[in-house]
Structure 1
Amino acid sequence: MNPPFRKTMQLLLGCAALALSAQAMAAPAPAAADPIHVDIPVPLKHADVVFNMDHRAFVGDLPVGMNYMHLLAMRYAKDHITGKIIGVFHGAGAYMVLNDKAYDAARHVKTGNPYAPIIAGLRKQGVQIEECRVSMMAHHWGNADLLPGVLVNGGAVARLIELQQQGYVQIQP
C-alpha cells in the first residue's frame, strides 16, 4: 500500500472509530430489553451551519470539528436535509487547510498536510471550506499555499457575524 493511500485510509478509519466511540461515550448502552425511547425527536428539514475552526480540538489525531462536519454532512444526505455546511478556519486552526509544502514549512515537519484527505472528502460531501485572510496575512501565506478548493474570506470574525446574521447556526467544536 503506498504511503499517501495508507495515510488516507488511517484518517478515514480514525473518522469511523471516532464516530463510533462518540456514540458509545454519549450514553451508557441500554440493556437489550430496554430500548432507547426518544422524548424529543429532531426532524430537521433545513439547517445552515458554520463551524468556527479557530482552535485545535482533537480525539487522538483526528480534528473534532472536521469529524462533526463529516457526520453532519452524512446526516444531511441520509435524512434529505437541505442547507449548507461551512467550515471557517482561522487563528490557531488556520494551518489545517494549507497544501503540503506550506504545511511542512508552517509546522516544521516533512510529512505533508495529514488533513488534506479529510478536507478533500468534506468538499466532496458539499462542505464549503474557507480560510481567513487575516490569518493568512499574519503568517505570510498566499492563495497558492492553500489546498485546492479552499475559499478565502475577508476575515473570519466578520464572516462568522455575517453568516449568523443570515441565519446560520455556529458550532464551536
Structure 2
Amino acid sequence: MPDENHALSIDIPVELRSVKSVHSIGSLQFEGDLPAALFHLQLITDDIADWNADAEVIVVFHTNAGHLTLHDEAYNASRKIAAGNPNRELIADLVTRGVEIELCGATAKANGWGNADLLPNVKINTDAMARTIQLVQQGFVKITEA
C-alpha cells in the first residue's frame, strides 16, 4: 500500500501531439549503471507512445559517448574490455521505437571507427555540430545530455 507521505500528484501534466527532438549526447552520466541519456530516451519514447504523438527523435552520439554505437567487437577494442557493449539491447530497443541513432563522423574518424564497427541501424553523419544545426534549423528542439 502506498505511503500517504509519498503520494505523487502531477501539477503540470504535459501531453504533446508532435515531438521533433535532437538529442546531443557527448558524454555520459549514470543512473546506477545505466547511462542517464538512454533512460531519458526511454522516458520520452514511453510518453510519445502514451500520447500517440507524431514523433521524430534523433540521437547524435559524439565525443566521449560515441562508443555506445559500437558492436561488441569494436566496443571491446575501444574500451579495452571483453564484455561487449552493455547498451546494445537498449539502443536496439530505441530503434524499434522509432528513434534514429547517429554517430558523429568526426568522432568516428578520430577513433578510427568505420560503418562496419557500428550496431545495426546506426548512421554516421558529417559531424555532430553540423547535424545538430541542420536539425534545429528544421524545427527540432535540441536536448543536450551531459
Higher-Rg member (1/2): 1
- 2:23 aligned residue (19, 44, 51): 51
- 2:87 aligned residue (115, 118, 128): 115
User: Whose relative contact order is higher, 1 or 2, with alpha carbons under 8 Å and at least 6 apart?
Assistant: 2
1:14-163 map, 5 Å: 29-30=6-7, 36=9, 38=11, 40-163=12-135
Once residues 101 and 140 of structure 1 are traced to their aligned partners in structure 2, the CA distance between those partners, rounded to angstroms, is 14
Q: Which runs of 5+ in 1 are unaligned?
A: 1-27
Q: Secondary structure at the match of 1:73?
A: helix
Once residues 92 and 50 of structure 1 are traced to their aligned partners in structure 2, the CA distance between those partners, rounded to angstroms, is 18
Q: Which runs of 5+ in 2 are unaligned?
A: none
Q: Secondary structure at the match of 1:48?
A: strand
Identify the structure with the greater strand proportion: 2
Once residues 140 and 82 of structure 1 are traced to their aligned partners in structure 2, the CA distance between those partners, rounded to angstroms, is 36
Once residues 37 and 118 of structure 1 are traced to their aligned partners in structure 2, the CA distance between those partners, rounded to angstroms, is 28
Shift of 1:29: 2.5
Residues 1:78 and 1:110: Cα distance change in structure 2 (over 3 Å): same
CA offsets per residue over residues 55-105 of structure 1, 9 Å max, x none?
111111101111111111111111111121111000000011101010000
Once residues 43 and 123 of structure 1 are traced to their aligned partners in structure 2, the CA distance between those partners, rounded to angstroms, is 22
Question: Aligned pair count?
Answer: 141
Shift of 1:41: 3.4
1:170 is aligned to 142
Relative to the length of structure 2, the TM-score reads 0.91
Letter in 1 for 2:20: D
Shift of 1:37: 5.8
Identify the structure with the greater helix proportion: 1
Identity %: 38
